[in-house]
Amino acid sequence: MGQLDRSITEFRLMEEEARGEGRLQALHPLAKLLVTVVYLVVLLSFHKYNLAGVLLMGFYPILAFTLGGVPLRPMWRRMRIILIPVLLVGIANPFFDRTGGLISMMTLLLKGLFAVAATYLLMVSTSMDDLCRALRKLRVPAILVTVMMLIYRYLCVFLEEIARMRAAYSLRAPGQKGVHFRVWGSLVGMLLLRSMDRSETVYQSMTLRGFQGDFLYGRERPFSRSDYIYLFVCILAVLIIRFL
Amino acid sequence: MNILELESLNYAYPGARRGEAPIAAVADVSFQIAEGENVGLVGANGAGKSTLLKLICGLLEPTGGHVSVAGTEVRKETLGQIRKDLGYVFQDSDDQLFTSTVYDDIAFGPRNYGYTPEQTRAAVEKALAAVHIESLKDRAVFRLSGGEKKLAAIATVLSMGSRLMLLDEPSVGLDPRNRRNLMEVIQSLPCAKLIASHDLDFIYDTCSRVVVLFKGRAVRVGDTRQILADRAFLEANGLELPLSFVTR
């Protein structure tokens, strides 16, 4: 299986995980979205030398990974493209920041790590449909949410087209590593045309079923007592860590 | 009552270069389909089958003539109403199934047409039962086989309560068992169907009437058994006898 096929599979597996029946998945999408947003805002608000505070903020991802039964290893694999630059971002601090470079580097590193972990938790526990529904409940304009949803959907279409073209190319160019630079132009042009063509057909299929610009996302579900408890406990804990 | 009426329908694609004459894809096509009737649309590659289907559902605007679905003329202003009565099953099911689960895809139409959550659930369950894929309700679309995808695609149309179903090459890519299963499902559905296909055996087994297209023109409309047994006529119009007719 090529790298691209692996990426498509990972993409789909994450979507499937998000629809699973774990404890985290069972929570209301709006509760999870609010907790994640508040957590990220508070986490990023810590001063660069407040290592102790940032360390304490690790409670949320650690608890969520443990109690939610979310395996940690796939996160490293799936998020490595983001994690590597995030972990490298403060590497120069010890050289330029003579007063507390090491501490600020650690703070930055942990902030990045926890932020990625919190976002990942949201991604593997909430499907895009549910996330969009939660955004609409927060009064995010329909046009923005629909664009987000379509980009997400078309990303799959785009990846599939790349995988097909890559397979067709490599079958006729055995032993060649990657795609030769001479065919890049025509390949990219063709990819664009084919992706547009498929996107158009998908859009036609949507309009034929009454789509008029507003996705009616996910399945409606009421807020349960555990959702309220999760929401208030998490937000309260985050605020206590930040202000005490 | 006729669910579909085509009257002198014309469509021409614009010429490839500036100043070039438009290329006629559908020329003076007229026929009707009654409620609950199954009609086959056959023709060689490039005969205009897919273009005709797109004209019927309003994805293309005719350059002449009229299309009416359930008594309402297909125009820009009536598309919303027309598409409630009409469902289109694409040749490639991956174009049709774009959400993550089978349930959500089948519920997409009812939700857009303002069904309540209870009505949506009922419509989805009825559609799933009609094509016998109740067990796939919560399955991720990418986990479906080709045959299952085709049935799910049909269910996406059924959930809207369509009275007319347009199917573009429904049997393409299916193995014999799935093809047989699809045939049985199509025969069991009460709505009218217009089935565009190269698979003449499939048309023979599912449709009572057939429309033969040749270079955009409907050269013959009539009884399936008569037309598909007429070797000379079929060969003159770029087709061949159904495989089951050919003796070895």
Q: Average pLDDT of A199-212?
A: 88
Distance (Å, whole) CA B38 – CA B210:
9
Q: Please name which of B121, B104, B151 lies closest in space to residue A149, comparing C-alpha atoms.
A: B104
pLDDT tens digits, one per residue of A91-103: 887 788 777 788 8
Strand, helix or coil at B28? Answer: strand
Cα-based angle A199, A204, A205 (whole degrees, multiple of 5): 100
Q: Please name which of B51, B57, B88, B52 lies closest in space to residue B70, comparing C-alpha atoms.
A: B57
Q: How high is the pLDDT of residue A218?
A: 64
Question: With an 8 Å Cβ cutoff, are B87 and A208 in contact?
Answer: yes
Q: Determine if the pTM surpasses 0.95.
A: no
Please give the structure tokens belonging to residue A9. 């599979």
pLDDT tens digits, one per residue of A152-170: 888 877 888 888 888 888 8
pLDDT greater than 70 at residue B77 = yes
Domain B2-241 part of CATH 3.40.50.150: no
Q: How high is the pLDDT of residue A217?
A: 63
How far is residue A178 from each of residues A2, A3, A66, A174, B246, measured CA to CA in Å? Answer: 11, 11, 40, 10, 48
Q: Which of A32-46, A53-67, A90-104, A220-234 has the largest mean confidence?
A: A32-46
pLDDT tens digits, one per residue of A170-186: 888 877 777 788 888 88
Q: How high is the pLDDT of residue A121?
A: 92
User: Which of A128, A149, A208 should one mutate to test binding to chain B, selecting the residue with the greatest count of B CBs within 10 A?
Assistant: A208
Residues 6+ apart with CB under 8 A from A94: A101, A102, A105
With beta carbons under 8 A apart, name residues in chain A contacting B92: 201
Q: Please name which of A188, A193, A195 lies closest in space to residue A160, comparing C-alpha atoms.
A: A195
Question: With an 8 Å Cβ cutoff, are A205 and B160 in contact?
Answer: no
User: Which of B61, B81, B85, B98 should one mutate to test binding to chain A, selecting the residue with the greatest count of A CBs within 10 A?
Assistant: B98
The whole-angstrom distance between B141's CA and the closest CA on chain A is: 10
How far is residue B241 from each of residues B180, B194, B213, B225, measured CA to CA in Å? Answer: 20, 20, 15, 11
Q: What is the DSSP letter of B123?
A: H
Question: With an 8 Å Cβ cutoff, are B59 and A19 in contact?
Answer: no
Strands B2-13, B64-69: pairing kind: antiparallel
Size of interface A-B (CB pairs under 8 A): 65
Q: How high is the pLDDT of residue B247?
A: 63
**Which residue in B has a C-alpha nearest to residue A197's C-alpha?**
B95
Region of B218 on the Ramachandran plot (φ > 0 left; ψ -120 to 50 alpha; else beta): beta
Distance (Å, whole) CA B203 – CA B201:
5
Dump the DSSP string for B148-179.
HHHHHHHHHHHTTT-SEEEEESTTTT--HHHH
With beta carbons under 8 A apart, name residues in chain B contacting A131: none
Total residues belonging to chain A = 244
Q: Judge whether A34 and A235 are in contact, CB under 8 Å.
A: yes
**Which residue in B has a C-alpha nearest to residue A21's C-alpha?**
B138
**Which residue in A has a C-alpha nearest to residue B139's C-alpha?**
A16
Q: Which of B59, B112, B140 sits opposite A209 (nearest CB)?
A: B112
CB under 8 Å, gap of 24 or more: what pairs does A134-141 form?
Answer: A134/A28, A134/A29, A134/A30, A134/A32, A134/A33, A135/A33, A136/A217, A137/A30, A138/A30, A138/A33
Please give the structure tokens belonging to residue A59. 């409670």
Please give the structure tokens belonging to residue B218. 């409907």
Residues 6+ apart with CB under 8 A from A228: A31
Question: With an 8 Å Cβ cutoff, are B98 and A202 in contact?
Answer: yes
Q: Quick one: pLDDT band at residue B68, thresholds 50, 70, 90?
A: very high
pLDDT tens digits, one per residue of B102-161: 998 999 999 888 899 899 999 999 999 999 999 999 898 888 888 899 999 999 999 998
pLDDT greater than 60 at residue B248 = no
Q: How high is the pLDDT of residue A147?
A: 86
Domain extents for chain B?
A: 2-241
Distance (Å, whole) CA A64 – CA B222:
66
Q: How high is the pLDDT of residue A219?
A: 67
Q: Judge whether B81 and B72 are in contact, CB under 8 Å.
A: yes
Q: Is the dihedral of CA B100, B105, B107, B108 positive or negative?
A: positive
